[in-house]
Structure 1
Amino acid sequence: MTLAPAATSTPSWPATPARSRRRGVAGWIVIAIVVLLVGGVGAALAALSQWAQRDALDPESAGPNGTRALVEVLREHGVEVEVTRDRDSAQQALLSGDATLVLPDTPALSDGAVENLAAGAEDVVLIDPRSRTLRLLLPGARAAGYGSGELAEPGCDLADAQRAGAVLPGAVFTTTGDAVACYPSGDGSGLLVADDGARRVSAVDGRTLFVNESLAENGNAALAINLLGRHPHLVWYMPGPGDTDLTSNDPSLGELTPPWVSPVIVLLLFAAVAAGVWRGRRFGPLVPERLPVTVRVSETTEGRARLYARSRDAVHAADQLRLSALVRLARLLGLGPAASATEIADAAADRLGWDRRAVRGILIEELPANDAQLVALRDRLSHLEEAVRQAVRPERNAR
């Protein structure tokens, strides 16, 4: 004999056409809202990425990668700091007299523009040296990777480095020219300084040493002041993406394709949208007539039990019996709906004083292999429930 929990069956009526249309409209509204949300999140992430890129080495940024702290320290030491964000303004600022030019990476400028800009300064400090700027302004110098990650002493006779003391270099450089190399670390040096009498050029990894989050460490602040504060006027050039003198003659994708391609692509997009709307329409219920059929609960239960018996799925039938028993036991023991099967079994064993392994075997672990074992398990479940009921409500059972 195979048992199954009782089930309730009610008549099922198809949705009306009006309800189907409302569901279709609601579905399209939900899809539109999801598309807008995804687009908004993507735009926000792109804006955050652009802001993080702008924040790096920005003298007006108080973020961890900005350099506002260094600018304020220089101003406290009497240095006039002028921040420029285009090449023309930087060149005009350098005409005022002896000045130091702080030059980060400038990929949007040509070689000639970089050399003309640097020519107007007495000192040029490369705070984000790349291969091109090293080649243009420090002949013989090249990037040599990163330092060893250990504190480095000046290791040179340069007064600016000697007064600053030890630092922890990031990117390091090597040179075959006349530049002075300081702070040896790894395969290179953390600072290169070349002075030909007319102009002095320095190369140092400002992203590691001069940003807000690391300026107060070791001798970073002293080194920055010594390199950038040699003249009373400092021009800090922060290039923008639109500040470029480069012109591109490469043809665009539209110029490379035939003139009929773009209209065809637009037509295909409209066709795809129209096909999606057509396929997504709801034309009402598939079966418009009602089904006046009511199935009794006993028939549903017996039919499910016969299916279990025919499939010889004793384990599944046992699971259904155990689930019902666990729900009733949890209610008798005062456990919440979130209690697990193990917690219910342990609580029942503690209440009865039985062995926990035996109770867990009845409620969880034992797997019946045939109908006879399933019936035996049902009897043991009934006995366990009755014992718990007697232990929890003895006075009611005595009546």
Structure 2
Amino acid sequence: MTATVRADAVVRPWWGRARLWLIAAAVVVVAAIALAALAGTPGRSLDPRSASPDGSRALARVLADYGTRVIRTSDLDTARAATGTVLVTSPDDYSDAQLRRLTRAPRLVALRPGTRATTALLPGASPDPETDPDTQPGCGATGAAAAGVVDLPGDALVYDLGGTGTSCYGGAVVQRGSTVLLGSRELLRNDRLTREGVAALDVNLLSADRTSTTLVWLLPGADAGGSGPASVWDLFPDGVHRAFWWLLLVGVLVVLWRARRLGGVVREPLPVVVRAAELVEGHGRLYERAAARDRAADTLRAATTARLVRRLALPRGSSPQQVTAALAPRVQRNPADVWAVLAGAVPADDAGLVRLAADLDALEAAVDDTRGHA
């Protein structure tokens, strides 16, 4: 019976302290599992390893089935050294000089470049946002003719070559020399690959009509020097940003939980009885150890002022100025001297603090003497 009581006395306080933390941890774990289930496999946009809707894993596998090996990289030097086709998923993230060096590859495919990147890749060409693309090839290119009608997504952008070259699908696919511009990023996504003609067009463009055995898939990395949106998450493994935002959310919730009181202050009786004299001596030793003569002087003066207010029958909360004005004529002392005792400078040393305490006692004694003579 005694052992059961002792165990209960230990378990109850522990459970009371830890249950909120355990509940919070359980909520975080359940939320993380739910998020992982809803988000699917994490990965970057147009990542050939990502099976998420905006990834490109399905296209990479289709290319592999046709004999084209996909090399995923975010290193610009690796892409420049490629001996096959180079796919630039975010050309706007690179500088003009970097893009011009990439055009020296045997074959280059750039996805939906903006005006600056288009000029660097194909001088004289420019995007034409006012013109809509065409679902029909409309050109003699072998790959486009084989793909036929393509269900182009809403982000498809048309390019005006401004000179020689091949333009297909109303300008959504243009080529000059070994450089190809594809006006849509969504065409490479997993969730678009089953649309009409999309897979065939992707395979023909990226494998050079199934003649290229190597495709270097360039994702933006730390060496990108363009004006595109930079992201620090490119330096971390996939999915780290999700964990960061979850930890930040949990941290905010913990701060809000710990910072707000859900009720009034609970008064608890002291486990032992402490005599008033011991409490005063303890405070005095703490002040002495911390050399807090200012705090000690303020405490002595405040206590004396409060007692003088009662003895002089002044209104509660009277200031030291009011107490000085009433006390100086009562004890027949100079108001400046009384003010120096009640609200003067902080004592420079412990001896000065002792003298201040004696002066405060003398003021109270003088008031008592005047009351006795009255």
TM-score normalised by L of structure 1? 0.45
* Higher RCO by CA contacts (8 Å cutoff, separation 6 or greater): 1
